[in-house]
Structure 1
């Protein structure tokens, strides 16, 4: 059997910790050195360095980095009508949900006439990274472009790796057209992140970069954070399913495989209180893998990072889940609402047997760019706020400063900051 089966809670906790730390290996150390070199070369060489790395890593020799607007429009026109309708439905649902996320400004008047505000504004430029490689992701276009649009970002710049022929996947371009993006560049990997952070002759420097990517993309975002804002440091995708005896092993297996087919490092985990489910799911996984079009990749993921844990209770399963803090959590149990209230740490929770994680990936509405590798302990999904920043506005009159000045001066004195104290005293004693 490809799926490992455990029943000891301590052993399960140790294994889950190892899965959560699966990208921390010698290969990652080597990748960091490669990324540092790429970033420096792009900073110094601009477009020429981008073309060099695109040929080296993607096999595409490019004359121009930017995709012509007419090519983007043509991709939409050539998209089959059922797929156009699916993309439009996804756009509508994603936009409706994200429109509810717009943060409200704060306006407050203090007891002495002081005025306190916090206002939200969109960043000027956002860089949207859409991965390529093993698959194409038009859904990622919508999940990044729409929140940026709702936030009010004026300039949205998309980067995505080309195929060896230098072309971008047609459906990705169609989704970009639908989302109103006409500035797209044929470049991916760490070099694309470096270009967005530094700017090149063709690609403008942006304020925030969003979107998932491979290890090199993530390391580049980490290295450049501070020079540019980022949404998160996305690791390999993961799903954790909690199932009781009411679950259908066929559906549980299908959902584990749906996650595993993303990447050899993707993790697919089942926590169940049912011995029947624990025994049946691994068998069903191997059955569904027999004619799987991505069998080699998916099997590697299941073999290396798949796990079934037989738990003594739902409470034990919930504790193990919270310790792992999964990106995607499916609750295939009799009472998913009650269990969801018990869960504290998860990127997104999918309730009931009719809510596959795929619904969230494509068009449920909430964002599918979620915290991975345990970061759901302290972060959440990409949102409208990812593309915004807030500013405090503070206005005191003489009465307000006089009423609070003694306290301000006492605090300044406690920190040994003489001029801080004096800046208040002088205003109080010498009213202008």
Structure 2
């Protein structure tokens, strides 16, 4: 597998062969994102919040965010004022994003189902929302009001009765979270917002915290993207709380052939690379001519974009590449092995090709469905699995906030009908007490009697 480095992005040449899954997973680019190593830094922060509560959170804010918030809970008037000062154009965009997200997520709601297993014997699967969730919204290199929408909408439509949002305090905004994030909360009807970020915010959600008269009760589930320390805190506290995922740096993969517009592809790669120097941008193509044209377009766009240094670092990193393959068929092997957070398919007959994708957080089909549409206003959710986890996990949805509970109801006659089988299986597993629990009710079902 020879590879070479261009001036903009590495290249990996897989032409002339069809590598298997094991070889592909070893060869394809990935960011270095060692959550396990971050645990050592996170553990004392989490333990400090557990032991000292609000005092630890204020100290962590001063240390990591460079500001001490006036209070941990953001007052209602501060949240309302954020909407009043919001740019009307941004407000209209947020409202449309909310409307479309609600349309899509409303169709994900599940209904209880009852199955009659026998006369007098039923099993009902009842869907129940978690009682309280903590929704984390990052505030590092960029501001993410869209993440407020993507976390809050499915939780609300699942019927979660308790929602709390946490976002880091900002030095430029009086120690409160960014006003655009607060405005998004207000537009969504969320009034419990906490000025806390990083691993300490996850710990506060897990253990609960009191700050004077303000109480943040413990949550059952924490969702939302964040940096490596947020991911490490989620791993450390998983079990005490449920989590959506250990989100890593964002990823875009594009499967394209000669029909794709090189400038479109380059703009999409840049759009995700501007998130983070560790962001991954991967083009998989069977067209050397497209690869060359995309490289040329990237040189122009990287030089012209606002976050030039960040984008250039991401594109040149080990996590990004242009991967050359013999045909789209091998390209499908590659993208399914890679399991990207975001996958664009820009090929002839793109819908048919996209239908064969088995591993991706979200798939964007054709020339007019860029990833940035999904980031904001497609109606889909942008909280998606990263680091190859799309091979076994899905993005945030209404189901993320629901628990399926099986409700079993049998009459005496229905238990009598199946009781002998229960007793036989209990004895086969050397758990006779299980069988006795049935025989105590219907002794006549003794096997062989």
TM-score, normalised on structure 1? 0.96
Q: Distance in 1 between matches of 2:443 and 2:328?
A: 66
Give the Å deviation of 1:225.
Answer: 0.9
Q: 1:31 to 1:19 in 2, by over 3 A?
A: farther
Deviations 1:362-407 (A, max 9, x none): 0111111011111111111101111111211111111111110111
CA deviations over 1:267-290 (Å, ceiling 9, x no partner): 000011111111111111111111
Identify the range of structure 1 (14-23 vs 94-103) with the bigger mean alpha-carbon deviation. 14-23
1:338 shift after superposition: 0.9
Aligned position for 1:190: 199
Q: Map 1:14-413 to 2 at 5 A.
A: 17=26, 21-25=30-34, 28-165=35-172, 166-201=175-210, 202-304=215-317, 305-413=319-427
Q: How far apart are residue 187 of structure 1 and its match?
A: 0.5
Contact 2:31/2:279, CA 8 A, preserved across alignment: no
Q: Return the alpha-carbon distance in structure 1 between the equivalents of residues 263 and 241 of structure 2.
A: 45
Within 2, Cα distance between the matches of 1:128 and 1:342? 33
> What SS class does the counterpart of residue 329 from structure 2 fall into?
helix
Contact kept, 8 Å, 2:359 with 2:390, in 1: the verdict is yes
Q: Is the 8 A contact 1:333 1:352 kept in 2?
A: yes
Q: Distance in 2 between matches of 1:213 and 1:283?
A: 33
Q: Give 4+ residue runs of structure 1 displaced > 4 Å after superposition.
A: 9-16, 18-21
Q: CA deviation at 1:310?
A: 1.5
Contact 1:244 1:272 in 2 (8 A): yes
Partners of 2:304 and 2:18 lie apart in 1 by: 33
Query: Offset of 1:29 from its aligned partner?
Result: 4.6
- Any conservation in 2 of the 1:19–1:267 contact (CA below 8 Å)? no
Answer yes or no: is the 8 Å Cα contact 1:51–1:61 preserved in 2.
yes
Distance in 2, matches of 1:11 and 1:258, equals: 30
Cα distance per residue 1:121-163 (max 9 Å; x no partner) = 1111110000011000010000001111111111110000112
- Structure 1 spans left out of the alignment, 5+ residues: none
Whole-angstrom CA distance in 1 between matches of 2:142 and 2:164: 21
Shift of 1:62: 2.6
Partner of 2:4: none
Cα RMSD after superposing both structures: 1.7
Matched, 1:7 2:13: yes
1:137–1:172 CA contact under 8 A, matched in 2: yes
- Measured in 1, the distance between the counterparts of 2:331 and 2:77 equals 52
Counterpart-to-counterpart distance in 2, 1:309 and 1:413: 58
Cα offset for 1:109?
A: 2.1
Cα drift, residue 52 of structure 1: 0.6
Q: 1:128 to 1:268 in 2, by over 3 A?
A: same
Query: Equivalents in 1 of 2:321, 2:422: separation in Å?
Result: 57
Q: Partners in 1 of 2:162 and 2:65 — Cα distance?
A: 27
Q: Tell me how far apart the structure 2 counterparts of residues 209 and 249 of structure 1 sit (CA, whole Å).
A: 39
Q: CA deviation at 1:47?
A: 0.5
Are the counterparts in 2 of residues 20 and 374 from structure 1 also a CA contact under 8 Å?
Answer: no
Q: Is the 8 A contact 2:24 2:334 kept in 1?
A: no
d(CA) in 2 for partners of 1:345 and 1:218? 22
Work out whether residues 112 and 403 of structure 1, in 8 Å CA contact, stay in contact via their aligned partners in 2: no
Preserved CA contact (<8 Å) 1:268 1:307: yes
In 1, the alpha carbon distance for the partners of 2:171 and 2:320 equals 32
Task: Pick closer, same or farther for the CA change 1:11–1:52 going to 2, 3 Å.
Answer: farther
SS in 2 for 1:239: strand
Give the C-alpha shift of residue 78 in structure 1.
1.1
